[in-house]
Structure 1
Amino acid sequence: MPAYTPPLDDYRFVLHEVLKVQDEAGIDGYPEMTEDMTGAILEEAGKIARDVLAPLNAVGDREGCRLENGVVRTPEGFREAWNLLVEGGWPSMECDPDYGGQGMPSVLNMAVGTMQSAANMAFMMYSGLTHGAYSAIHTHGSDAQKRTYLPKLVSGEWTGTMNLTEPQCGTDLGLVRTKAEPAGDGAWNLSGQKIFISSGEHDLASNIIHLVLARTPGAAEGTRGLSLFIVPKFLVNDDGSLDARNSLSCGKVEEKMGIHGNSTCVMNYDGATGWMVGEEGKGLRAMFTMMNEARLLVGMQGLSQAHVAYQAAASYAKERLQGRAVTGAAAPDKPADPLIVHPDVRRLLLDQKSFVEGGIGFLSWVTMLLDAEKRHTDPKMREKAADMVALLTPVVKGFLTEEGFRLTANAQQVFGGHGYIEETGISQFVRDARIAMIYEGTTGVQALDLVGRKLALKGGQPIMTFFEYVKGYIRDNEDDLALAKDFLNPLKKASKDLQQAAMFFMQAGMKNPNAALAGSVDFLHLFGHVCMALAWARMAKAAHRAIQEGRGDRAWYEAKIVTGRYYMRRVLPETGLRLARIETGADPVMDLPAEAF
């Protein structure tokens, strides 16, 4: 089965040579992130990913989760692995120290999460949903709710979930039917059914804290009538001890294409006791705290699966003997040459390698902006960073999951027929990666959010800030001729394609909204490629600098530059195709009558 090697050198490079986190004095906690500090944490997290979580990945896929007498049994070894994470304090890394957290920056926590998700995506979903529940309660909960629930969520003794979807509604949450009736003393009784609830029931923790969207009596129709409720699996006494089992149950564990190790449940609420989070009718706002965080984490999942699949494909391509190089035998002492001599196999691998390494740079930069939003000492910088995070969140979620799945499938392609049988393990990565394009809002939903809401945010200020940042970076580095030729000039061309597409939406979209929406997914991809090109330009500059100064492994830095050059030459020109499709407008998409489908 495939092994996993944590990309420690990539994270050291991105954090300390590209982003230079230790020099960001304005962001609380960043000056303390020395290479020694981050290196020790990432090395230990990588060991857990490699030695504990990765070996359980195939186990979880094979065994799945079983519903027995109302309790979901997770795969063999999952409970021990969860206890190891809890004992090591890993769930608490970026949580508030007031509730037992370590208060570390998100950029470091994301690096840890990406490695551990690459090793075992299904397992790490239990932790990811818990952190989302923590964030929602931390932001919107009362002081009493925070004291009751946060310490145990932070430690990992309890886990959390997000309950939105119902049989009749997914994206359209205005159709939610789950009801909440007042029960006195501030409590509510919730009745209804939720489906597709990740980590909804399991045996990893002593309690599960469900966050449930429901409608109160007389509430307005649509999303304005929704409120958010804390509904624990076991009721909690004033002293924090567990009381009676609440009136909720898992009705079914879904049979899924992938992520078999995570319990995706149908949850039934039969007058279950819950407590409102925040204001009545403002539940969706509170839930979006959890959802926006989850969207970044799902983007990370797309990247992580592409990364572990690439590692497997590259290893296989260097070992598998098949055919001869067209320029002459590369291994004349062997019956055939390794797959990696063939140009098309190289193409498949370089598409993957340039994506996963560029993706680490892109996602780390966005997470650094998230830290600036939360931790910067200057309120204006916090606001500016928040706007950029809002703009880039649908790009992270949509682009990294779409490309991540495509390139995970490319990794499978390297294996040929052996990639289609289960014993090689590569097919699991494909099946697991597929869900990332769907949950927490499909790619189409992310594209609609980007084009329909985020481009117009604050009169277009965030997108203009992005364009100015790209222009400024190009201007500041244009005297570096090597960087300009291979990286800055392609970045400039791609950025102009993005600006032209945005201008088309402003002009054509005002007259016919379908003209903008028909090209929204293309715009999301175009935006994603520009972000990746920016990441590669920044990484190339840092690699050039290291070579000029004679630091580190010269061959490693040269490989980084060559990989980035591949992206700029072979992948980035896709922005022109995306722009051409966008500018066809709505007619090609909308002309065919519905009955003709």
Structure 2
Amino acid sequence: MTNYTAPQRDMLFVLNHLAGLEDIAGLPGLEDATPDMAAAILDEAAKFAAGVLAPINASGDRQGCQWDNGTVTPADGFADAYASFCETGWNAMPAAPEFGGQGLPSLVSSAVQEMWKSANMAFALCPMLTLGAVNAIAEHASDEIKATYLPKMVSGEWTGTMNLTEPQAGSDLAAVRSRAVPVGDGSYRISGTKIFITWGEHDMAENIVHLVLARLPDAPAGVKGISLFVVPKFMVNADGSLGARNDLACASIEHKLGIHASPTAVMVFGENDGAIGYLVGEAHKGLGYMFTMMNHARLNVGMEGVAISERAYQQALAYAKDRVQGKPMGDTSGQTRTILHHPDVRRMLMDMKSRIEAMRALAYQTAAHMDYAHHHPDDAVRRQHQSRVDLFTPVVKGWCTESAVGITSTGIQVHGGMGFIEETGAAQHLRDARITPIYEGTTAIQANDLIGRKVAREGGSSLRTLLADMAATRDALTAEGDANLVAIGVALGRGIGALSEAGDWLLAHYDSQPAAAAAGAVPFLKLTGVVAGGWMMARAAQVATQLLAAGDADTVFLNAKLVTARYYADHVLPEAALYAAGVTQGAGSVLALDEEGF
């Protein structure tokens, strides 16, 4: 497996020129996040990712975690890496200063998160879930719970999890059966079994704080009867010290296709007297509270798609530059060349590169909207940006992760037969990537959320605003005298047309033909991602052209950006028409077969 080098040049290009970091640094509370400060943070994070996390990625995959009578021991090197991660302050970077965090913008922390996930995705899941739990507690819990748990979770001394899924329920949270019985002193006795709990048990931190969905005795049926509870592995004394072990246990860990170094636990609560838990917020509102954590996780899983794709691309590129094989078609020198000279290898690498850059830009842009939604002083502006966050969240999660499966598979193809051999490391990237379209809500769940809550429910208003913003970029490019920019603008225009057509079809048929709309939901999500990614690449080409005209010295990078944007316009944006046809014309064949026909 090749070393990992963070793509800082592209990260900074997106931060500064597409996502508008300088403007975000002008928002209240984010004044210290200047472009120079961000560049320094990224430089230090790149060193940690490459020097500490990346070297234990492959070994962690081979060794995995060990379960022994309820105790889980991570792979060699993980505990030391986690201690170093917390000691150097990385865990606290995105959290609020009032709880010991550094309060950096989501935009900057997203770039750093990408590095952790590229270097070692299994490791990165632990702090990712902790910070998601921090966000949920900070937004919804009582001051007492915040004071008890948040400082040590922010520091990383304690980690966090979310416990939603149960064996009989799967993604149907209305079927959750875990129980919470009030004790009378403000605490509750929690009982039930939860599955697929990432980093649900380990010995890297002093305590693990579980956020658990459960039902009170008087809870109404369905999702309206779910409450959220803080359930610590060890009880916390009044002075903040740790007390007795709570009544919860890790019954087993799963044997998985990938992310072997990340323990996926079956957690059992209350086999004896009941695990002690504390209600977060109001009773029966737990699902809404948990979505604070889940939406954080969904965006971060989308970033995993970007990150693991980048790692696969770096490895494929290194192999293509090193592997000498054959004489390229059209090469009259008669010399044997590296496979980078073969046209189809170049096609595969360009496809990987262009999709990754589009995904990165869209994910970072969404993070920038989050910063505006949380920090802008004008409520109307905050709502406007939150609307874009809501629209893009399922797209970033679904499109980036589905793309990652294809990109990491292409990385294996670049290696040829050597990619199918575990020792090269290319296969690990595909195995790790395969979980990303599944957990934190499958692609279908994201797609149904997109067409239902984010498009149909609001009459398409957010989608129309997005289409108008894209059209403005198209118009600017097609008005340019530069033939390359005009071609990119024309391709973007076709994509906008396809997305608009599909969106209109959904709005016209969502209520009257719900099954037909659902049959096209995933194609619509992919369509939105492809076109939104094309919009990002078109903007990147526009900026690169302006910087070159202004005499920017980084001509190699900027010219490559133009070529990559043109490749995306020529080869990826045409997929929009296919996805639109699937939405508007494909439902009949999806739904035609009787059950016996399968």
TM-score normalized by structure 1? 0.97
2:221 is equivalent to residue 221 of structure 1: yes
Partners of 2:543 and 2:179 lie apart in 1 by 55
Secondary structure at 1:220 match in 2: coil
Choose the corresponding residue for 1:273, options 249, 253, 276. 276
AA of the residue aligned to 2:529? G
Q: 2:316 aligns with which of 307, 313, 323?
A: 313
Q: 1:153 to 1:330 in 2, by over 3 A?
A: farther
Alpha-carbon deviation of 1:27? 2.7
Q: Which moved more, 1:343-352 or 1:451-460?
A: 451-460
User: Counterparts in 2 of 1:259-270, with a 5 A limit?
Assistant: 259-270=259-270
Deviation for aligned residue 1:506: 1.8
How far did residue 510 of structure 1 move? Answer: 3.2
Please tell me the root mean square deviation across aligned C-alpha atoms, in Å.
Answer: 1.3
**Offset, 1:329:** 5.0
- Change in CA separation of 1:20 and 1:330 when aligned onto 2, cut-off 3 Å: farther
Q: Which residue of 1 aligns with 2:467?
A: 467
Secondary structure, aligned partner of 1:389: helix
Q: Residue in 2 aligned with 1:17?
A: 17
Equivalent-residue separation in structure 2 for 1:586 and 1:571 (angstroms): 23
Q: Within 2, Cα distance between the matches of 1:373 and 1:427? A: 39
Letter in 2 for 1:418: M
Match of 1:437 in 2: 437
Q: 1:323 aligns with which of 326, 343, 364?
A: 326
Counterpart of 1:144 in structure 2 is: 144
Map 1:200-239 to 2 at 5 A: 200-239=200-239
Letter in 2 for 1:473: T
- AA matched with 1:289: T
Which residue type is aligned with residue 563 of structure 2? V
Separation in 2 of the partners of 1:298 and 1:508?
31
What do the CA deviations read for 1:458-500 (whole angstroms, capped 9, x no partner)? 3332112211211223334543232641322211110110010
Residue by residue over 1:407-445, the C-alpha shift from the partner in whole angstroms, topping out at 9 and shown as x without a partner, is 111001111111111110111111000000100010111
Checking the alignment, whether the CA contact within 8 Å between 1:22 and 1:30 is kept in structure 2 is no
Q: Please state how far the C-alpha of 1:274 moved relative to its aligned partner.
A: 0.2
Residue deviations 1:46-89, cap 9 Å, x none? 01111110110011101111112422100111011101110111
| Secondary structure at 2:508 match in 1 | helix
Question: Which secondary structure does the structure 2 equivalent of 1:416 belong to?
Answer: helix
Q: Residues 14-93 of structure 1 correspond to what in structure 2 (within 5 A)?
A: 14-24=14-24, 27-29=27-29, 31-93=31-93
Partners of 2:544 and 2:10 in 1: CA distance: 11
Deviation at 1:585, TM superposition (A): 4.3
Is this contact kept in 2: 1:23–1:31, CA < 8 A?
no
Q: Tell me the equivalent position of 1:499.
A: 500
Contact 2:477 2:486 in 1 (8 A): no
| Conserved 8 A contact 1:312-1:426 | yes
Q: Hey, what's the Cα distance between the residues in 1 that align with 2:24 and 2:77?
A: 41
C-alpha contact (below 8 Å) 1:420/1:427 kept by paired residues = yes
| Contact preservation (8 Å) 2:420, 2:427 | yes
The alignment partner of 2:265 has SS state of: strand
Alpha-carbon separation, structure 2, partners of 1:260 and 1:569: 38
Q: Counterpart of 2:571 in 1: which secondary structure?
A: helix
Give the aligned partner of residue 533 of structure 1.
534
In structure 2, give the amino acid aligned to 1:120: N
| 1:32 Cα deviation after fit | 3.4
Q: Deviations over 1:196-232 (max 9, x none)?
A: 1001000110000000000110211111110000000
**Cα distance in 1 between the residues matched to 2:572 and 2:11:** 23
Alignment deviations for residues 377-432 of structure 1 (CA, whole Å, 9 cap, x no partner): 21111111111111110000000000111111100111111111111011111100
Matches within 5 A, 1:376-415: 376-415=376-415
- Counterpart of 1:552? 553
8 Å Cα contact 2:373/2:382 also seen in 1: yes
Of residues 323-332 and 353-362 in structure 1, the stretch that sits farther from structure 2 once superposed is 323-332
1:119 aligned residue: 119
Q: 1:91 Cα deviation (Å)?
A: 1.0
Structure 1 residues 509 and 35, CA, compared in 2 at 3 Å: closer, same or farther? closer
Task: State the secondary structure of the residue aligned to 1:42.
Answer: helix
Using the alignment, how far apart are the partners of 1:209 and 1:450 within structure 2? Answer: 31
- 1:454 counterpart residue number: 454
Task: Give the distance between the partners of 1:558 and 1:31, measured in 2 at CA.
Answer: 33
2:183 counterpart SS class: strand
Alpha-carbon distance, 1:337 to partner: 1.5
| Shift, 1:578, TM fit | 0.8
Distance 1:330 1:179, change over 3 A: farther
Q: Distance in 1 between matches of 2:258 and 2:50?
A: 21
Matched-pair contact (CA < 8 Å) for 2:53–2:116: yes
Separation in structure 2 between the aligned mates of residue 179 and residue 471 of structure 1, nearest angstrom: 51
Map of 1:523 onto structure 2: 524
Partner SS state of residue 321, structure 1: coil
The within-5 A match list for 1:229-378 is 229-270=229-270, 271-328=274-331, 332=335, 336-378=336-378
Aligned-partner residue type, residue 38 of structure 2? T
Report the AA paired with residue 186 of structure 2.
Answer: G
1:124 is displaced (CA, Å) by: 0.5
Contact map agreement 2:509 2:517 (CA 8 A) in 1: yes
1:129-157 C-alpha deviation (Å, 9 max, x unpaired): 00010011001000001100100111001
| Pairwise CA distance, 1:107 | 0.5
What one-letter code is carried by the residue in structure 2 that aligns with 1:49? A
User: Aligned to 1:6, what secondary structure does the other structure show?
Assistant: coil
Are positions 1:96 and 2:96 aligned together? yes
Cα shift at 1:159: 0.2
- Per the alignment, residue 565 of structure 1 pairs with 566
CA distance, structure 2, for counterparts of residue 93 and residue 442 of structure 1: 29
In the alignment, what sits opposite 1:190? 190
The equivalent residue for 2:582 is 581
The residue type paired with residue 492 of structure 1 is: G
Alpha-carbon contact 2:66-2:73 (below 8 Å) kept: yes
8 Å CA contact 1:505, 1:515 repeated in 2: no
SS class of match (1:441): coil
Matched position secondary structure for 2:2: coil
| Paired residues of 2:478 and 2:487 also in contact (CA < 8 A) | no
Which is worse superposed, 109-118 or 488-497?
488-497
Shift of 1:511: 2.4
Which sits farther off after the overlay, 450-459 or 76-85? 450-459
Deviation at 1:338, TM superposition (A): 1.0
Q: Which moved more, 1:507-516 or 1:434-443?
A: 507-516
Compare 45-54 and 336-345 and name the one that shifted more. 336-345
1:227-286 CA deviation, whole Å, 9 max, x = no partner?
000000000011111010000000001100000111100000011000010111000000
**Mapped contact 2:370–2:386 kept (Cα < 8 A):** yes
Tell me, yes or no, if the aligned pair for 1:26 and 1:376 is still in contact at 8 Å. no
Q: Conserved in 2, the CA contact under 8 Å of 1:258 and 1:432?
A: yes
Q: Percent identity?
A: 47
| Separation of aligned partners in 2, 1:415 and 1:225 | 52
CA distance in 2, matches of 1:470, 1:317: 36
| Separation in structure 2 between the aligned mates of residue 121 and residue 529 of structure 1, nearest angstrom | 25
With over 3 angstroms needed to count, the CA separation of the structure-2 counterparts of 1:24 and 1:158, relative to structure 1, is closer
**Cα distance 1:331–1:284, how it changes in 2: closer, same or farther (>3 A)?**
farther
Stretch of structure 1 that moved more, 199-208 or 353-362: 353-362
Q: Distance in 2 between matches of 1:207 and 1:141?
A: 19
Indicate the SS of the match to 1:262: coil
Query: More deviation in 436-445 or 479-488?
Result: 479-488
Cα deviation digits, residues 10-32 of structure 1 (max 9, x gap): 11211123333113465335553
Total equivalences in the alignment:
594
